[in-house]
């Protein structure tokens, strides 16, 4: 029996500067960064691996595997007797599938955490176990040479591998990027605006007509980019820490980068965990906006059902690989808040059967239900029928497997593939028979936001925050707030807008219970607004005190700044009894029951706010309306 290869490892601590320099190498050289940098505490094991000087590249195809030495260590490895068959030439067309070949490759090394393979598998990797068409690309894996490893505490170590007694001299291999076969055309999206919603409509019909439980459809956007892919990746990591962040330079002109919410597999020994993600809402601005996003996510029944289907389907995929009865749902709909969106996550755990390993789990869950549908075979057929272009990397996996059998796999989502200065971003969503085409279109576009921002193609305004509107504000106002519990907070808000407080100012901001006769140039807030409107002929009545209540408001067509919804804090002892404004009054915002919340009389320069725009619980849009009212009512 041929002796296994024993690797010697030299270790030392690495500081942040060395880690940054190592990452910079991936801008021009082959390698991979795979990090778990965010997620849910206790579910996502924070760590990172950076193969910045890989020794070997393994390119997987439907009919086998090709290996390439990338440096002196790689050439020394291929001279070892255990890898003699690999050194002889491509292992293609031998009748042995790519998965069996990769497993056999790792068996040539003594078990070690440092005998490490890491790389990316495309969507077509679901054919890994059975083998695909000859020449079909099924993935790229790098074997470690010199790499950095970061632990959960943030400490990094540099590891350099060697074969004892072997000559590892020689320059690293650097292939020139392969040019495109045809002249670069102007990049085009798969679909025009509204096209994805139309595709979802067709999918909903199929979900009723065919034996499909769920279906995930995607579309691609393409943009010409100037920013180098590695710089875009740095920006993406900084702005959007995610459960799975990755950067791959294939050494042949293509770079893949992303920040995915989906840590697909964690294998440690015989323990296996899966963390399916489903359900997406935009993350609102600030603490209040985020809390509202969480409420919206948890209240969404279709998303809850979709995640349940994903978890059941993953259990179905893992059941043949796990000991009977060991698969359990440990966490249900845990909330995961990322930079621009909020997701829900389940966690399944089981114990692998004897004879099953991480490669079985990777192959068994490739193209999971979250990116295909249930049942998978029917979903794959529908995807081929409905989608406009091949998926490429989208829905594939970034993987890391070491010589002890431990592994990590993340689904390739929220990713960009860059070649010849064109970035392709692909997003999609899981559909059920009750899915809303319009909502799915909006969600699919939302998922591209962090990536286009990383390339500098979209302004990085806070998620969920409307663009500010410029208003010519008065220099000062008169604040009348006798008896108002929040007078100091209101004064602070006005000062924050750059307004002085003067008793002789032409514009009055009124709060509390004081009344003003024949008011003009007045902004009334809270109870003062209801009392002013009552004096103007609007029905009003006393009610149970509403302090600290949040109300969802919708901007009316007459409001400056355009349509949209926002959350505002209500603090009232009085209730407005009319839904229609009186003569001369227009409505700028209503609540969910269509009761006016902001009313304006433009001729008399009056504005009434039935909520507290200055409250910390009110979203920025509430203050924007206050600014607009100050500008209007402050005019002569």
**pLDDT at site 284:** 67
348 located within any domain: yes
In what order do the strands lie in the sheet containing 422-431? 8-14, 156-162, 146-150, 47-53, 31-36, 244-249, 254-260, 415-419, 422-431, 214-224, 373-374
Whether residue 468 is contained in a domain is answered as no
Question: Which one of 423, 454, 485 terminates a domain?
Answer: 454
DSSP string, 18-46: HHHHHHHHTTTS-EEEEEE--S-TTTS--
Asked whether residue 359 falls in the same domain as residue 235, the answer is yes
> Do 433 and 483 reside in the same domain of the chain?
no
Distance of CA 309 to the CA centre of its chain: 20
State whether 515 and 418 are in the same domain: no
Say which residues have a Cβ less than 8 Å from residue 195's Cβ, sequence separation at least 6: 219
Mean pLDDT by 10 residues, the chain (636 residues): 90 95 97 90 88 98 95 96 91 88 96 97 89 87 97 94 82 59 74 93 94 92 94 91 93 96 94 86 68 68 74 87 91 76 85 96 90 90 96 97 97 95 93 89 85 75 37 85 86 88 94 78 92 83 67 89 83 72 89 91 94 87 92 88
Q: Residues 398, 543: one domain?
A: no
- Note the pLDDT of residue 468: 38
Cβ–Cβ contacts within 10 Å for residue 527, how many?
21
Q: What is the pTM of this model?
A: 0.72
466 occurs within a structural domain: no
**Which of the listed residues 420, 454, 488 is the one where a domain comes to its end?**
454
The pLDDT assigned to 464 comes to 36
CA dihedral sign of residues 29, 413, 121, 136: negative
Q: What CATH number should be reported for the domain holding residue 550?
A: 3.40.50.880
In a domain, 254, yes or no: yes
Residue 384 and residue 518 in one domain: no
Residue 159 maps to a domain: no
Query: What number of CA atoms fall less than 13 Å from residue 543's CA on the CB side?
Result: 17
Question: Does residue 176 lie in a domain region?
Answer: no
Domain boundary among 424, 454, 484: 454
Both 429 and 490 in one domain: the answer is no
The residues pairing with 35 across neighbouring beta strands, listed in sequence order, are 48, 245
- List Cβ neighbours of 616 (8 Å cut-off, separation of 6 or more): 288, 569
End-to-end CA distance of the chain: 96
Number of domains in the chain: 2
33 strand-pairing partners? 50, 247
100 shares a domain with 13: yes
Pairing of strands 254-260, 244-249: antiparallel
The DSSP 8-state label assigned to residue 369 in this structure reads: G
Say yes or no: 328 and 444 in one domain.
yes
Domain CATH number, residue 130: 3.60.120.10
Q: Are residues 421 and 562 in the same domain?
A: no
Matching residue, tokens 């109870």? 527
Please, which residues have CB within 8 angstroms of residue 384's CB and are 6 or more apart in sequence?
A: none
Rounded to 5 degrees, what are φ and ψ at 370?
-60, -25
pLDDT of 597 = 93
Q: Which of 359, 531, 434, 478 is nearest to 200 (CA)?
A: 434
Q: Is the same domain home to 128 and 58?
A: yes
Same domain, residue pair 429 and 539:
no
Residue 161 lies in a domain: no
Q: Are residues 425 and 345 in the same domain?
A: yes
Domain limits at 103? 8-153+186-220+228-454
């Amino acid at each position: 029996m041929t002796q296994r290869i024993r690797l010697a490892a030299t270790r030392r601590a690495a500081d942040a500067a060395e880690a940054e320099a190592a990452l910079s190498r991936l801008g021009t050289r082959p390698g991979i960064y795979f990090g778990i940098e965010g997620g849910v505490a206790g579910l996502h094991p924070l760590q990172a691996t950076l193969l910045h000087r890989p020794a070997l590249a393994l390119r997987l195809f439907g009919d086998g595997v090709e290996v390439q030495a990338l440096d002196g260590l790689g050439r020394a490895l291929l001279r070892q007797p255990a890898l003699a068959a690999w050194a002889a030439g491509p292992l293609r067309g031998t009748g042995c599938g790519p998965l069996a070949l990769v497993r056999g490759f790792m068996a040539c090394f003594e078990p070690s955490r440092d005998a490490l393979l890491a790389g990316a598998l495309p969507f077509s990797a679901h054919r890994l176990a059975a083998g695909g068409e000859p020449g079909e690309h099924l993935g790229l894996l790098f074997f470690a040479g010199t790499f950095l490893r970061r632990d959960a505490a943030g400490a990094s170590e540099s590891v350099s591998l060697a074969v004892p007694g072997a000559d590892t001299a020689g320059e690293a291999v650097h292939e020139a990027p392969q040019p495109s076969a045809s002249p670069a055309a102007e990049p085009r999206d798969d679909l025009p605006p509204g096209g994805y919603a139309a595709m979802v409509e067709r999918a909903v019909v199929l979900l009723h007509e065919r034996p499909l439980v769920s279906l995930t459809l995607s579309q691609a956007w393409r943009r010409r980019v100037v920013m180098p892919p590695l710089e875009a990746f740095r920006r993406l990591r900084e702005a959007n820490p995610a459960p799975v962040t990755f950067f791959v330079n294939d050494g042949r002109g293509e770079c893949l980068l992303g920040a995915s919410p989906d840590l697909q597999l964690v294998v440690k020994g015989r323990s296996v965990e899966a963390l399916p993600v489903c359900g997406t809402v935009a993350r609102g601005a600030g603490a209040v906006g985020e809390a509202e996003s969480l409420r919206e996510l948890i209240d969404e029944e279709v998303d809850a059902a979709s995640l349940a289907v994903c978890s059941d389907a993953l259990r179905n995929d893992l059941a043949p690989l796990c000991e009977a009865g060991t698969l359990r749902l440990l966490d249900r709909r845990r909330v995961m808040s990322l930079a621009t969106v909020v997701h829900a996550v389940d966690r399944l755990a089981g114990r692998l059967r004897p004879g099953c390993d991480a490669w079985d789990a990777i192959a068994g869950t490739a193209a999971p239900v979250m990116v295909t549908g249930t049942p998978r075979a029917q979903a794959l057929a529908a995807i081929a029928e409905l989608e406009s272009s091949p998926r490429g990397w989208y829905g594939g996996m970034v993987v890391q497997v070491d010589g002890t059998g431990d592994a990590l796999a993340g689904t390739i989502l929220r990713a960009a593939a860059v070649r010849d200065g064109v970035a392709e971003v692909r997003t999609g969503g899981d559909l059920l028979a009750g899915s809303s085409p319009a909502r799915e279109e909006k969600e699919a576009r939302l998922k591209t936001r962090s990536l286009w921002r990383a390339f500098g193609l979209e302004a990085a305004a806070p998620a969920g925050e409307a663009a500010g509107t410029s208003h010519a504000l008065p220099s000062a106002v008169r604040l009348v707030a006798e008896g108002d519990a929040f007078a100091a907070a209101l004064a602070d808000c006005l000062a924050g807008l750059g307004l002085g407080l003067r008793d002789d100012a032409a514009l009055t901001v009124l709060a509390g219970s004081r009344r003003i006769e024949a008011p003009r140039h007045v902004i009334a807030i809270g109870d003062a607004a209801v009392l002013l409107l009552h004096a103007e002929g609007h029905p009003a009545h006393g009610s149970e005190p509403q302090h600290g209540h949040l109300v969802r408001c919708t901007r009316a067509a007459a409001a400056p700044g355009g349509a949209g919804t926002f959350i505002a804090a209500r603090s009232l002892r009085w209730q407005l009894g009319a839904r229609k404004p009186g003569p001369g009054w227009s409505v700028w915002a209503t609540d969910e029951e269509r009761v006016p919340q902001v009313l304006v009389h433009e001729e008399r320069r009056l504005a009434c706010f039935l909520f507290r725009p200055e409250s910390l619980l009110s979203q920025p849009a509430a203050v924007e309306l206050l600014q607009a009212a100050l500008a209007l009512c402050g005019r002569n």
